[in-house]
Amino acid sequence: MGIVNATPDSFSDTDEHRTLEARVELARSLVAAGADVIDVGGESGVTNRPPIDPLQEMERVVPLIERIVEDVGVLVSVDTYKPQVARAAVAAGAAIVNDVSGLRDPVLADVCAETGAGLVLMHTRSAPKQKVMDPALDGRMVADVEEFLDERIFVATRRGVAFEQLLLDPGPDFSKTPAQTVGVLRALEGLHGLGRPLLLAVSRKDFIGAITGRPPRERVGGTLAAIAHGVDAGAHVLRVHDVGQTADFLAVRAALDAHGEVASELRLAEGLRWHRR
């Protein structure tokens, strides 16, 4: 899942993709690099600014989703917690609603029930645009994630969302200290007991910065380490900024796996033997 932000204040992006055309081209390049899904967001998760109006968020994501669906032809998810935005995004062609609020507004589930869109349920104890970390949950966060997601599954299905429409996200960094996030990811395999696919959203996250001491755009190495762990634990969907590097990492990893297949005629293309200036 490649990330295309339609926001001016993403925590990790620069100013290079500020226009609609630039964002469509970014989506196209991510698909060419190996993305199967494009996740479009119209409101940054940064907590030092207030939420934006739903109409403004729709103005940002709807034209972009329409263009990606029509011109790029790839599955699109919309990163939003607002029912009005979700409904408009699905009407524009989005097939998945990626809700980072933990279904704080259950009406969002109604949108998915009525339209058949997939719904990502993410663990968080914080309201959108707020950052709350509770050290009292040290040692108990893993259980909290499982209990929270189980309860959110119940809420969603009670409102008509089919169990098969759901994906689960343990919410790295969301209402968690770096140490709590690490604890949750160490226990990722246990979430398979809830019976739905797992979305792993670790790309450039704060816990990686805390471990490595690097700013967001220098966290590719740390991100790949977290992805390796997540793949070993059975994660099904990887939400990443650096699609090409992730695809390369997974390709080499698969080739080196004891069960991987490598054709005997595999050779390096002549044009790749030297770095051309």
Q: What is the pLDDT along the chain (277 residues), one digit of tens a residue?
A: 999 999 875 545 555 668 999 999 999 999 999 999 999 999 987 776 788 999 999 999 999 999 999 999 999 999 999 999 999 999 999 999 999 999 999 999 999 999 999 999 999 998 887 888 888 899 999 999 999 999 999 999 999 999 999 999 999 999 999 999 999 999 999 999 999 999 999 999 999 999 999 999 999 999 999 999 999 999 999 999 999 999 999 999 999 998 888 999 999 999 898 887 7
Rg (CA), the chain: 19
Can you tell me the distance from the alpha carbon of 277 to that of 268, in angstroms, rounded to the nearest whole number? 19
Specify whether the CB–CB gap between 112 and 97 falls below 8 A: yes
Tell me the three state secondary structure of residue 7. Answer: coil
Q: Where are the domains of the chain?
A: 2-272
Specify whether the CB–CB gap between 141 and 121 falls below 8 A: no
| Fold for the domain defined by 2-272 | TIM Barrel (3.20.20)
Q: Write down the catalytic residue from 140, 205, 219, 273.
A: 205
Can you tell me the distance from the alpha carbon of 241 to that of 155, in angstroms, rounded to the nearest whole number? 31
Q: Is 129 a catalytic residue?
A: no
Can you tell me the distance from the alpha carbon of 119 to that of 159, in angstroms, rounded to the nearest whole number? 12
Which residues, listed in sequence order, are joined to residue 200 by a DSSP beta bridge? 238
Q: Is 82 a catalytic residue?
A: no
- Cα distances from 33 to residues 18, 158, 172, 249, in angstroms, run 21, 39, 25, 12
Can you tell me the distance from the alpha carbon of 183 to that of 132, in angstroms, rounded to the nearest whole number? 17
| pLDDT, tens digit, 9 for 90 and up, residues 67-88 | 999 999 999 999 999 999 999 9
Six token digits for residue 173: 């960094």
Q: Write down the catalytic residue from 239, 253, 276, 277.
A: 239
Specify whether the CB–CB gap between 41 and 79 falls below 8 A: yes
Tokens 């990502």, residue located: 120
pTM: 0.93
pLDDT at 12: 52
